[in-house]
């Protein structure tokens, strides 16, 4: 009876999350994401209309190292997905195509996976499971446990292995917002107390003091803006956030509605996620306004736009992405004036390429005199007090820090050195390094 845990991506780095669990010869893969930063680097440097080849993506470490499994690849019995962010599912169209096993994810995540795979992909392999699913793959019992994060229907995954429970707790927070079926209920975790052998724990913000705020705090941040800025007398209001952050899109749409403006959601990735939210009965954002996607439609809309003052634009481009709507607006598609307002409801991803892209965009926008408000946002990840609270409930034997660079992993080692956690072993793992039991 052997259990071998092998990280294939997302350890000692942020991105391309992927983990292999070999349980007596049967392999489960958890998450199959790509490295967004490295992909954006490619998009910024090269031809935007050209898709990178599979070989290029493997060579540039954009995809997880599935090749580390070598001949054992045929033993993969299932792929489990924790949530719909591309650093967790983005590699599926590339790497899962040739694998015969099924892919298990919540309805929203399944829908997003389908939207990023082309028609040649065998969609019957994608199995939609409820957020509290309990199921069995080749005799292995698996549980999904719903948690709050910055995209709907995210889950923590518990795998009942011969060595005890292996819990994969990446990308979540304790403070829930208003979206049903996307909330953390800590009571659900009580039953795992002292039963978890290995806890994979999101270490991204393990050095941040205090607790992460909830989505309700973003609403408060907007209320503050409403007090300080005369939104009623602004010409166009333009807002941007992560397209997958459905809860935030609801908050943004509600704000637009208050000011009696015509709401338009513009951008291909926005339309993709909005469709998934509608198809899975989370929310129908088309009830708030029109959704415009596709280069031709977007250009047609802006070229025929008569009264910008009547509009509230929800657009892609918060990271200054070269292909985004906001970037195109700044490049001349929209005539900005100092009476307009742009609100960035996000944080810049701490990667050189994102920082540079956003800086270039802001420089251009600043020349027009448009008012810019930034960082109206709360994180979707645990802070150090949250880590401690969660770990005191689970009390695992081993913690493996995940989803972070080496210094973040080390922060987590330090966090749990002290009492009452000193009995827990914190073991950072490298990509390709086996943890064997
Ligand atoms: Zn995430």
Strands (E), 106-250: 126-128, 134-137, 140-147, 154-161, 164-169, 196-202, 237-240
Is the pLDDT reported for residue 52 higher than 90? Answer: no
pLDDT, the chain, mean: 94
Hey, what are 425's tokens?
């072993």
Residue 293 Cα, ligand 1 centroid: separation in angstroms? 24
Residue 297 Cα, ligand 1 centroid: separation in angstroms? 30
Region 333-352 average pLDDT: 93
Provide CB contacts within 8 A for 86, sequence distance 6+.
33, 34, 36, 116
Closest CA to 8 of 91, 112, 77, 84: 91
Residue 309 Cα, ligand 1 centroid: separation in angstroms? 35
Provide CB contacts within 8 A for 49, sequence distance 6+.
none
Residue 83 Cα, ligand 1 centroid: separation in angstroms? 7
Is the pLDDT reported for residue 352 higher than 60? Answer: yes
Say how many Å lie between the first and final Cα of the chain, rounded: 8
Region 7-28 average pLDDT: 95
Residue 257 Cα, ligand 1 centroid: separation in angstroms? 28
Residue 380 Cα, ligand 1 centroid: separation in angstroms? 7
Residue 234 Cα, ligand 1 centroid: separation in angstroms? 34
Hey, what are 179's tokens?
């979206």
46 — pLDDT class (breaks 50, 70, 90): low
Region 17-34 average pLDDT: 96
* b/e map 244-266, b = 16+ CB within 10 Å: bbbbbbbbbbebbeeeebebbbb
pLDDT digits (tens, 9 = 90+) for 312-327: 999 999 999 988 999 9
Residue 1 Cα, ligand 1 centroid: separation in angstroms? 33
48 — pLDDT class (breaks 50, 70, 90): low
pLDDT at 296: 95
pLDDT at 380: 95
Is the pLDDT reported for residue 50 higher than 80? Answer: no
Residue 300 Cα, ligand 1 centroid: separation in angstroms? 34
Residue 160 Cα, ligand 1 centroid: separation in angstroms? 24
Region 20-45 average pLDDT: 89
260 — pLDDT class (breaks 50, 70, 90): confident
pLDDT digits (tens, 9 = 90+) for 229-250: 999 999 999 999 999 999 999 9
3-state helix, strand, coil in the chain (%, to 5): 35, 25, 40
Instruction: Name the helix (H) or strand (E) containing 11.
Output: strand 11-12
pLDDT at 44: 65
Residue 85 Cα, ligand 1 centroid: separation in angstroms? 5
Is the pLDDT reported for residue 47 higher than 70? Answer: no
Is the pLDDT reported for residue 88 higher than 70? Answer: yes
Hey, what are 188's tokens?
């659900």
pLDDT at 38: 85
pTM confidence score: 0.95
Region 47-53 average pLDDT: 67
Region 15-37 average pLDDT: 95
Closest CA to 395 of 259, 199, 261: 199
Torsion angle of alpha carbons 208, 209, 211, 215, nearest 10°?
Answer: -50
Tell me the C-alpha distance between 103 and 78, whole Å: 6
pLDDT digits (tens, 9 = 90+) for 179-205: 998 999 999 999 999 999 999 999 999
């Amino acid at each position: 009876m052997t259990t071998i845990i092998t990280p294939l991506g997302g350890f000692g780095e942020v991105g391309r999350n992927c983990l292999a669990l070999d349980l007596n010869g049967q392999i489960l893969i958890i998450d199959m994401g790509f490295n967004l930063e490295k992909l954006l680097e490619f998009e910024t440097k090269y031809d935007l209309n050209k898709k990178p080849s599979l070989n290029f993506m493997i060579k540039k470490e954009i995809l997880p190292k599935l090749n580390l499994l070598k001949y054992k690849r045929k033993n993969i019995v299932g792929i489990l997905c924790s949530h719909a962010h591309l650093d967790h599912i983005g590699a599926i169209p590339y790497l899962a195509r040739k694998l015969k096993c099924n892919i298990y994810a919540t309805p929203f995540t399944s829908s997003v996976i389908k939207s990023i795979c082309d028609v040649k992909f065998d969609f019957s392999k994608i199995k939609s499971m409820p957020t509290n699913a309990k199921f069995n793959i080749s005799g292995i019992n698996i549980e999904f446990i719903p948690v709050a994060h910055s995209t709907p229907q995210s889950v923590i995954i518990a795998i009942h292995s011969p060595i005890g429970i292996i819990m994969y707790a990446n990308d979540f927070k304790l403070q829930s917002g208003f979206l049903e079926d996307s909330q953390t209920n800590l009571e659900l975790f009580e039953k795992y107390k002292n039963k978890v052998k290995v806890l994979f724990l999101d270490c991204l913000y393990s050095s941040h003091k205090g607790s992460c705020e909830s989505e309700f705090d973003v609403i408060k941040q907007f209320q503050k803006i409403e007090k300080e800025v005369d939104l009623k007398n602004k010409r166009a209001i333009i807002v941007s956030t992560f397209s997958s952050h459905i809860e935030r899109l609801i908050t943004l749409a509600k704000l637009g509605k208050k000011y009696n403006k015509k709401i338009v959601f513009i951008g291909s990735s926005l339309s993709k996620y909005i469709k998934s939210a509608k198809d899975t009965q989370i929310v129908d954002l088309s009830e708030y306004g029109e959704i415009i996607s596709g280069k031709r439609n977007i250009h047609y809309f802006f070229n025929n736009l008569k009264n910008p003052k009547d509009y509230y634009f929800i657009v892609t481009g918060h990271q200054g992405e070269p292909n985004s709507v906001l970037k195109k607006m700044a490049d001349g598609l929209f005539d900005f004036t100092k009476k307009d307002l742009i609100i960035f409801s996000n944080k810049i991803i701490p990667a050189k390429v994102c920082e540079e892209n956003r800086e270039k965009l802001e420089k251009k926008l600043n020349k027009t005199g448009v008012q810019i408000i930034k960082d109206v946002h709360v994180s979707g990840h645990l802070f150090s007090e949250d880590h401690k609270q969660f770990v005191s409930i689970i009390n695992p034997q081993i913690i493996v820090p995940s989803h972070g660079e080496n210094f973040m992993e080390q922060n987590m080692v330090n966090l749990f050195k002290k009492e009452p956690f000193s009995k827990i072993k914190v073991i950072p793992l490298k990509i390709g390094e086996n943890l064997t039991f």
